[in-house]
Amino acid sequence: MIFSKRTSPYVSGKQDVSSIMRQVLYALIPGTAVLIWYFGWGMLSNLVLAIVFAELLEWGMLTLRQRPVRPFLSDYSAVVTAWLLAVAMPAFSPWWLIAIAMIFAIVIAKHLYGGLGYNPFNPAMVGYAAVLVSYPVQMTIWPAPVDFSVAHIGLWQTLQHVFAGSIQGWDALSAATPLDAVKVSLSLHKPLSEIYATGQFGLLAGQAWEWVSLAWLLGGLWLLWQRIIGWQIPVALLGTLALMASVFWLIDSQAYASPLFHLFSGAAMLGAFFIATDPVSASTTPTGKLFYAGGIGLFTYIIRTWGGYPDAIAFSVIIMNMAVPLLDYYTQPRVYGTKRGLQR
């Protein structure tokens, strides 16, 4: 009789980095498709340029660091970073703005810290925050999607604007996002009932934007079903954001937007399911994830309501990334067979 000499572990995981990243990319398709539906070639150009720049920068940094190129280029991590950054940036963003954002994301936030698995900050959010602070005008000009006028801009006109900034009548096509419109109008002491009457808003939030958020929610639920992400971060982030919005909305419904508006505006859904759940820069303990994501939701509401930026997912994620080592240290689960006081 021949006995097997195989040793433990006997159960091997089916998920590796590339397969997990592919699942994330699949989940991003619904939201991206809705963005392309409303913004046409403008969002598609963002996506193509971001992926091209990300792969080139990844190849260049791996070569400089004398690391094997093929395994890291084929794990799709750079593509996921590029995709998240592309859908967060305004449609029809100029090529140089996307290039700068990708340099901060891939070179500075990822490789200067040691590459995949060593970056303490979410690379996509570092790239986004860097260009938002440096180029606020370009980063706050979104085309108006309500009447689908942008969707009729052809490929040639898109390329002209992206590479030369020359779409005729671009100012007439651009408009503030719902978050920005509400923030500015409230600062002028306009009641929300008057703001919502402008026709820019739908049942849950801004027209078009609520459908984008619903599509991110659909993709996020699929990631939960596939067990690519856990429930703690999305639930804690969205729950804290909704709780904060509910408290102030109940105090004064004309001066503070409703919980539904905050949940389905901006990058709340994208951040809850795709950004805050980054396995490298997020907290890893069950309790730590709740505090980590709750902090993101709290800071998001604070910055949205009283800060200088209409949306705050990027800043909130980066702030809580800094707290991850502390959270993981103090929320270590109890080891079976040891006393709590002897864990450290």
Complete DSSP assignment for 295-309: HHHHHHHHHHHHSSS
Whole-Å CA distances, 212 to 54, 78, 219: 24, 23, 11
The per-residue b/e assignment along 230-246, b for 16 or more CB within 10 angstroms, e otherwise, is eebbbbbbbbbbbebbe
Is residue 342's pLDDT more than 50? no
Q: What percent of the chain has pLDDT over 90?
A: 54
Average pLDDT of span 88-93: 89
pLDDT digits (tens, 9 = 90+) for 197-254: 777 777 878 778 889 999 999 999 999 999 999 999 999 999 999 999 999 999 998 8
Q: What is the mean pLDDT of the chain?
A: 85
Taking only the tens place, the pLDDT of each residue in 21-34 is 999 999 999 999 99
Rounded to two decimals, what is the model's pTM?
0.87
CB 293 within 8 A of CB 234: yes
- pLDDT tens digits for range 204-220: 787 788 899 999 999 99
* Mean pLDDT, residues 123-139 taken together: 92
Would you state the pLDDT for residue 169?
Answer: 52
pLDDT of residue 167: 56
Judge whether residue 318 has pLDDT over 90. yes
In angstroms, the CA 23 to CA 228 distance is 8
| pLDDT number for residue 221 | 96
- Region 8-36: what's the mean pLDDT? 80
Is residue 295 very low, low, confident or very high in pLDDT (cuts 50, 70, 90)? very high
Most trustworthy range by pLDDT among 67-71, 90-94, 264-268, 272-276: 272-276
147 confidence band (pLDDT: 50, 70, 90): low
Taking the C-alpha atoms of 278, 284, 288 and 292 in order, what is their torsion angle to the nearest 10 degrees? -10
- Reading the block at residue 72, the tokens are 């890291």
For the chain, helix, strand, coil in percent to 5 are 65, 0, 35
Contact 260, 249 (CB under 8 A): no
